[in-house]
Amino acid sequence: MKALPAAGWAAASILAARGASGTLHAAASFRWLRDGLASVTGCEHEPSVRFVIVVPVLREQELIGDLTRALTDLARTVPGQASIALVTTQAEKTQHELAKAQLPGLARLLAAGEPAGRIISRFLGLMPAARLAELAEAAAGRPESECLELAAAALAAVPTTPQLAASLASRRWPGTAVRHWHYPGTGGAMAHQVNYAIRAESTLAGHAGVPPDRLFFVLYNADSRPHPATLRAAAGLIRRLDHDPGGPARIVQQSALFTANLAGLPGGAAGSLLAGAGWLQSRWTLSREIPRLRRQSAQARRGGGCRLPHLAHCVGHGLMIRADTFAEFGGLPEATLNEDLAFGYLACAAGIPIDPLPLLEDAETPRTLRSWICQGRQWFGSYPDYPRAASLAAAAGYGDPRGRGYLTVQGLARGGIWLAQSPVVALALALPAVTRRRGRAAVLAGFGVMAYYVVPAALAARLAGRSFSPLRSVPGGMGAALLSSAGPWWSAADLAWHAVTGTRPSHGKTER
């Protein structure tokens, strides 16, 4: 029995140490973002820079209208310098046909009178959440045959995202061009959509005489809501770095907080956990993501061919890529499960700075526990893929073996930390109950919780302009931390299965 207290003390010490470093990094990120916002407020945009906002969409019927309106407002902040590309995929039609096989299962739950929340959690993706809620109310308790008819009619009435995107692109948007591209492949992932649209947009820009070194592609998701000053700030950063000794901006990354929909989350324990997950991810942005971007950018700009390069990762929303850099890389990686972390690896191996933008995007946190765990499963797939990213970098001649090896070790270690997060938190929280020195254990575990979660999350709340109650948030935040490794362990099990069967995992979709 001595092993459990020893493991608890070790875990609590790790949590406290990681929390202390995270709090220091979060405070530095907070100051950098606060000062950055002050420096870009009211700045003049660079008229020679052009932006194309690229948004890949799949089953986004609920969001695409509001998204397009929000992005056209953003584009008008740099008049005549930005346009929008909505990218749909033929895979949606294929998935729509396959989805019909889920209708009998939906009908059974409807006939059983299951609550709307459970139906949405189980069938989100078959049709939008609002339609599922309406269906749950209209069909509750009816015979299963009637429920099946109602479900089939509801599914048939849902317009596809390509139809909605085409309609939006056909409208006149004051001061902004909105275009629709449709990727014809049925088996591609998001990277294929993005690459298809960017190549088409590059051709249009070439015909219009826009130089590739003055054209940036800006990637967002359907639920992205970037800061209104984003494009002006990006143009200002690009202009400033045009004269930097480390070279001009080629890749710019905007980080995100995950607080946009906290007020709309369900109530009860599930809502508390999901809110905690949003704060936990926002804490990670300040404590880890932004500091790594700043270190990598500073190191790459010093040049000199550093033999031990820092690893920072790109994120698929808020990612800005210069057109000639996109062409040099051959687009986003399509050979890896996820494209964004692999793209960041290639940039780090090539010694290209990933310059962070000191303005945040306000993104959403998942609306169901199932979606959140699936999101973790999907995101974690990038970490075991780092050796594949290293192979891509070696084939392209980016960096040397030592540098690529060091980058790969960093990536794999971070994946290991994510796998260990829940067990470490569980052992740390259990320590006061399994040791005789309960007072000291409570102080150490309490300090770990404060430094690891509460202080960085409170700083994130100040940046997001949202209320944050530490006492009310801690149960949901620690509950989320206890479950945060579930998706990664699921992903690791997938990896083992695919290794045994000799197959490749596919890129999934976790929301809608």
* DSSP code string of 312-371: ----SSSEEEEHHHHHHHTSS-SSSSSSHHHHHHHHHHHT--EEEEEEEEEPPPPSSHHH
396 plus 268 within the same structural domain: yes
353 plus 252 within the same structural domain: yes
370 plus 274 within the same structural domain: yes
Rounded CA gap, 152 and 440, in Å? Answer: 60
Higher-pLDDT residue of 448, 509:
448
Could you give the 3-state DSSP secondary structure of residue 188? coil
Higher-pLDDT residue of 41, 308:
308
Smallest Cα–Cα separation from 237: which of 84, 75, 82, 355? 355
Query: What pLDDT score was predicted for residue 509?
Result: 64
38 plus 98 within the same structural domain: no
486 plus 343 within the same structural domain: yes
Could you give the 3-state DSSP secondary structure of residue 473? helix
Q: How confident is the model at residue 349 (pLDDT cuts 50, 70, 90)?
A: very high
Last residue of a domain, one of 140, 157, 174: 157
Query: What pLDDT score was predicted for residue 41?
Result: 52
Predicted confidence (pLDDT) at residue 60 exceeds the cutoff of 90: no
Query: What pLDDT score was predicted for residue 167?
Result: 94
Q: Evaluate whether residue 80 is within a structural domain.
A: no
Residue 117 belongs to domain spanning: 94-157
Higher-pLDDT residue of 328, 140:
328
Smallest Cα–Cα separation from 250: which of 176, 333, 346? 346
Query: What pLDDT score was predicted for residue 277?
Result: 97
Q: Return the residue matching tokens 């609306």.
A: 367
Query: ∠ CA 181-182-185 to the nearest 5 degrees?
Result: 140
Number of domains in the chain: 2
Q: Return the residue matching tokens 């397009």.
A: 68
Task: Report pLDDT digits (tens) over 214-224.
Answer: 999 999 998 88
User: From residue 401, how far is each of 208, 308, 408 by CA, in Å?
Assistant: 41, 10, 10
Higher-pLDDT residue of 79, 201:
201
| Amino acid, res. 478 | M
Query: What pLDDT score was predicted for residue 358?
Result: 94
For residues 239 and 252, is the Cβ–Cβ distance under 8 A?
no
DSSP state of 452: I
Give the number of other Cβ atoms within 10 Å of residue 266's Cβ: 17
Which two tokens mark 106? Answer: 């939906």
Q: Evaluate whether residue 185 is within a structural domain.
A: no
Q: Evaluate whether residue 110 is within a structural domain.
A: yes
Q: What residues form DSSP beta bridges with 202?
A: none
The tally of CA atoms less than 13 A away on the side-chain side of residue 323 is: 23
350 plus 426 within the same structural domain: yes
User: From residue 450, how far is each of 88, 235, 432, 444, 484 by CA, in Å?
Assistant: 43, 38, 16, 10, 18
Rounded CA gap, 197 and 257, in Å? Answer: 27
Smallest Cα–Cα separation from 414: which of 276, 328, 268, 312? 312
State the average pLDDT over residues 453-479: 94
pTM of structure: 0.91
Q: Evaluate whether residue 205 is within a structural domain.
A: no
331 plus 453 within the same structural domain: yes
State the average pLDDT over residues 371-379: 93
Which two tokens mark 345? Answer: 């690896």
Q: Evaluate whether residue 511 is within a structural domain.
A: no
107 plus 35 within the same structural domain: no
Q: Evaluate whether residue 508 is within a structural domain.
A: no
20 plus 103 within the same structural domain: no
Q: Evaluate whether residue 11 is within a structural domain.
A: yes
Q: Average pLDDT, whole number, for the chain?
A: 91
Q: Evaluate whether residue 77 is within a structural domain.
A: no
Predicted confidence (pLDDT) at residue 83 exceeds the cutoff of 80: yes
Query: What pLDDT score was predicted for residue 508?
Result: 66
Task: Report pLDDT digits (tens) over 95-131.
Answer: 777 777 888 898 888 888 888 888 887 887 788 778 8
284 plus 417 within the same structural domain: yes
82-89, strands of its sheet edge to edge: 178-183, 82-89, 50-56, 215-219, 319-322, 251-257, 354-362
State the average pLDDT over residues 295-316: 89
19 plus 98 within the same structural domain: no
Query: What pLDDT score was predicted for residue 38?
Result: 66
296 plus 423 within the same structural domain: yes
For residues 331 and 199, is the Cβ–Cβ distance under 8 A?
yes
Q: What residues form DSSP beta bridges with 50?
A: 215
Strands 50-56 and 178-183: unpaired
Q: How confident is the model at residue 365 (pLDDT cuts 50, 70, 90)?
A: very high
